[in-house]
Amino acid sequence: MSPAALTPEPSFQVQPIIKRKDQLFNFGATVEGLDLNQISDDDVQRLKETIWTHKVIVVKGQQSLTPQKHWELVTRFDPDASQEHSHGKLETFQKKGGVLSRSRDVYGIPGAENVRLIGKGYQGDDHYGLKNLDVKGLSNDFHADPPRDEEFQQGFTRFQRWHIDAPLYGRDPAWFTTLRAVKLPSGPDLTIRWDDGSGLSMQSPPGLTAFFSTSQLYNLLSAEEKLVADHSWVEYAPYPYMWIENCKAPSTGLGLKSEGKEHSIEDLGEYDEKDVKTYPCVWVNPVTGEKAFQVHGIAVRKLFLRSSVAEQPQVVEDVEAIRAFLHNIQSRILRPEYIWLPEVEEGDIVMWDNYGTFHTAVDYPVQKYGPRTMHQANIGASRGPVGPVPIPSVG
């Protein structure tokens, strides 16, 4: 019996996304009829199951959600987890966050510091106790060869950095991330370009977040590739985002260019070997049983490849070879028909499954479109990802 059969009918309504004929992504839903300031335990459980099932949901009409209640909801999703944001305290994040902390301004909301203000532009005289902030925000500077400023000001942009919300050191990835739209930019659609010679592009309103499904990606693999994926695993670098803080992305925002800019492990300072994360290449959804090819390629230091439990793994430690292997797989899903940009309104909160999706911000010219204000929260999971095949002990 599925977990969904064990709880009462929810008090809210779930509507799967209605797609155009050219859209082939197989996830997404909207949720109506909830006040997240006052949500029952039963509805928290059903909301969890809804996220696991639909992968990305938009919960409508949460203009009155307080930061304190926002964080309380996140802890109720995973009450056995350590009661802290998955990336830890802001002081630690700024010290060890590497490319994450260098690329943008992140602030904790006073009185609910685990709810993080992220966005771009001027945030007002007083935003929940944060005074006169002008936030740098994510940008196309992450690309090795960013679009020319003239083009950018005309509305041509790129995906910024495809990723999952995961520290990959010390804590397990959050099951879910929650992102509430407090203030959104407005104006004509942007053109997101691949700029990789493919000619691919897609249109999007400014200020949105893009998603693709890594379980849909798994289903794009051949039978032989699935066998390797099911039995293989990766080891992430200690302080992985500090390790790659000087690295840049290709024009699609997927993965990293291999230019020898990674720090040496010695440069990272002292670390605890037990906090280094080793995860399977495939993660199994705890509600649907779907398999997802879920490897955060920018942070992988070692790749262990095999196609059966009896086989000795091939250990790949060359980062260029690791990234080429992963890019060959992950680039298959990076097409407009597989990508969803949920069109949210101010007050809506997007919630997504970090174990079955990748996502990215999309940069925009703030002078033309105005500021973006988002409240983000997640919590390092009490139980990490589970693969279809256990990872063996490696001496």
* Residue 66 belongs to a domain: yes
* Residue 18 belongs to a domain: yes
* Residue 275 belongs to a domain: yes
Vertex 248: Cα angle to 97 and 143 (nearest 5): 110
Same domain, 250 and 309: yes
Same domain, 317 and 340: no
- Note the pLDDT of residue 138: 76
Same domain, 203 and 72: yes
Same domain, 90 and 226: no
Q: And the tokens for 299?
A: 């942070």
Vertex 20: Cα angle to 15 and 24 (nearest 5): 85
Query: Hey, is 368 helix, strand or coil?
Result: helix
Same domain, 226 and 346: no
- Note the pLDDT of residue 379: 94
Count of domains in the chain?
2
Tell me 69's DSSP state.
H
Give me the phi and psi of 212, to 5 degrees please.
-135, 160
- Note the pLDDT of residue 232: 98
Q: How far is CA 182 from the centre of its chain?
A: 19
* Residue 95 belongs to a domain: yes
- Note the pLDDT of residue 88: 67
Same domain, 99 and 209: yes
Same domain, 165 and 57: yes
* Residue 241 belongs to a domain: yes
Q: And the tokens for 380?
A: 């390092």
* Residue 326 belongs to a domain: yes
Each residue's pLDDT expressed in tens, for the chain with a length of 395 residues? 344 444 566 789 999 999 999 999 999 999 999 999 999 999 999 999 999 999 999 999 999 999 999 999 999 999 999 888 877 665 665 555 444 445 557 789 999 999 999 999 999 999 999 999 999 887 888 899 999 999 999 999 999 999 999 999 999 999 999 999 999 999 999 999 999 999 999 999 999 999 999 999 999 999 999 999 999 999 999 999 999 999 999 999 999 999 999 999 998 889 999 999 999 999 999 999 999 999 999 999 999 999 999 999 999 999 999 999 999 999 999 999 999 999 999 999 999 999 999 999 999 999 999 999 999 999 999 999 999 999 987 54
DSSP 121-185: EE--SEETTEES-EE----GGGBSSPPPHHHHHTTEE-B---B-S---BSSBPPSEEEEEEEE--
* Residue 176 belongs to a domain: yes
Domain of 242?
A: 219-332
* Residue 153 belongs to a domain: yes
Same domain, 327 and 337: no
- Note the pLDDT of residue 89: 64
CATH number at residue 7: 3.60.130
Same domain, 324 and 341: no
Same domain, 210 and 343: yes
Q: And the tokens for 99?
A: 């490319």
**Alpha-carbon distance 254 to 33, whole Å?**
36
Q: And the tokens for 73?
A: 């909801």
Q: How far is CA 206 from the centre of its chain?
A: 18
Same domain, 29 and 171: yes
Q: And the tokens for 312?
A: 């000795």
Same domain, 12 and 141: yes
- Note the pLDDT of residue 8: 61
